[in-house]
Amino acid sequence: MQHRNWKKTLQRAISDPHELLSKLNIEDVSLISNQANGDFPLRIPPGYLNRIKKDNPQDPLLKQVLPSVEEEHDKTGFTRDPLNENNTQVSPGLLYKYQGRVLLVLTGACPIHCRYCFRRHFPYSDSTPSGENLEKVINFLQKETSVTEIILSGGDPLSVSDERLSKLVSQLAEIPHLKRLRIHTRYPVVVPERINDELLGWLTATRLQTVIVLHVNHANELDQSVRQAMNKLRNNNIPLFNQSVLLKGVNDSVHALVELSETLFSYGITPYYLHLLDPVAGASHFEVDETSAKLLMCEVQKQLPGYLVPRLIREDVDTPHKTIISFQEFGS
Ligand code: SF4
């Protein structure tokens, strides 16, 4: 029954930008870009929609999902594959960029479409592993004994059925050198009913240590339904971390970032990374430059205990690790 619920919720996702603005009492349809919507269509599930405040075109949740005219502006350096991921695929869907861990792009499907997503142009149809391709992934992992962690990503990996996920995780657990299974997902936040008994069944049965990394950018994304989903995960001893993207007009203020960290922690989630925007075509209006980011984080640091200050990071193409950005030179 629960199994059906999350799929039913997804069927009720809104895909028409005019319908979205109408539900929010926003009359200014000139905000919408049909071109951007054609390129990367609107998708917003009902629970997330309920958290957007009405009558406010500047709402930080609305800005994350509305295909806007600002996306039509090209900016030098903003490209379709900003992290050069096509060159890190060792087998369809398997990205091997960092030592000791691999990332498996399981699906292109997501419960929500985030306008700033660095994979919004990713060629999913050529790059998701199933059938023969999945065999290649397993073969690769069996031979690559230095890999100890596998990250399930996408799209959103929890878009895949529990039956398929359960089978995949069993196959992975048979590879002796694999220790950890990390899942990057936005489902527990945007469709909390996805955290059902079937999912908890395979997630808790595996010998692999499991970690869930969420993606929340603003405190308003969290509500009671999300708290229930987090409680289910926490009650099963699954560590919860969060990574956010620093987004102009969404969370680029000291107040928003402090509130985000404090709210995450009250839900049992540890703030982990705050990413600078990856320069993906169509998202340049969300960019916060590095100097402004450092100044913001300096102020944030003054207001929070150290364990609630996320690491400010940047991803550089061809660098075999994320770059941690120090902001101490702006210190008090
Ligand atoms: S992959 Fe993540 S960030 Fe990108 S659209 Fe899907 S849910 Fe949003």
Residue-range domain boundaries for the chain: 79-330
Q: What does the pLDDT average to over 97-119?
A: 93
Phi, psi of 324 (to 5 degrees): -85, 125
Q: Which two tokens stand for residue 302?
A: 């003054």
Confidence of residue 168 (pLDDT cuts 50, 70, 90): very high
pLDDT for res 1:
44
pLDDT for res 3:
47
CA 275 to centroid of ligand 1, rounded, Å: 14
- Residue 153 alpha carbon, nearest atom of ligand 1: 1
d(CA 146, CA 120): 31
Whether residue 294 is predicted with pLDDT greater than 70 in this model: the reply is: yes
More confident of the two residues 260 and 327:
260
As a whole number, the mean pLDDT across the chain is 93
* CA dihedral sign, ordered 136, 138, 143, 148: positive
Give percent of the chain with pLDDT exceeding 90: 82
Tell me which residue of 296, 235, 290, 243 sits closest to 271, measured CA to CA: 243
Q: Is the CB of 199 under 6 A from ligand 1?
A: no
Q: Is the CB of 154 under 6 A from ligand 1?
A: yes
Asked if omega into 249 is within 30° of 0 (cis), the reply is: no
Least confident of 129-138, 182-191, 287-296, 309-318: 129-138
Whether residue 127 is predicted with pLDDT greater than 60 in this model: the reply is: yes
Single pTM value for the model? 0.94
CATH of domain 79-330: 3.20.20.70
* CA dihedral sign, ordered 212, 213, 219, 220: negative
Question: In sequence order, what are the residues at sequence separation of 6 or more whose Cβ sits closer than 8 angstroms to the Cβ of residue 271?
Answer: 241, 242, 244, 260, 261, 264, 265, 308, 309, 310
CA 76 to centroid of ligand 1, rounded, Å: 23
At position 171, the amino acid (one-letter code) is Q
Q: Which of helix, strand or coil describes residue 122?
A: coil
pLDDT for res 97:
86
d(CA 13, CA 50): 12
pLDDT for res 133:
82
pLDDT in tens, 16-56: 999 999 999 999 999 999 999 999 999 999 999 999 999 99
DSSP 146-201: T--EEEEESS-GGGS-HHHHHHHHHHHHTSTT--EEEEE-SHHHHSGGGS-HHHHH
CA 38 to centroid of ligand 1, rounded, Å: 17
CA 6 to centroid of ligand 1, rounded, Å: 17
Q: What does the pLDDT average to over 94-117?
A: 93
More confident of the two residues 85 and 39:
39
Q: Is the CB of 155 under 6 A from ligand 1?
A: yes
Q: What is the H or E stretch that residue 34 is in?
A: helix 34-39
Q: Which two tokens stand for residue 307?
A: 């364990």
Give percent of the chain with pLDDT exceeding 70: 97
Alpha-carbon separation of residue 148 from 101, 165, 173, 259 (angstroms):
6, 19, 11, 35
CA 118 to centroid of ligand 1, rounded, Å: 8
Q: What does the pLDDT average to over 183-204?
A: 97
Confidence of residue 206 (pLDDT cuts 50, 70, 90): very high
Confidence of residue 124 (pLDDT cuts 50, 70, 90): low
Whether residue 67 is predicted with pLDDT greater than 60 in this model: the reply is: yes
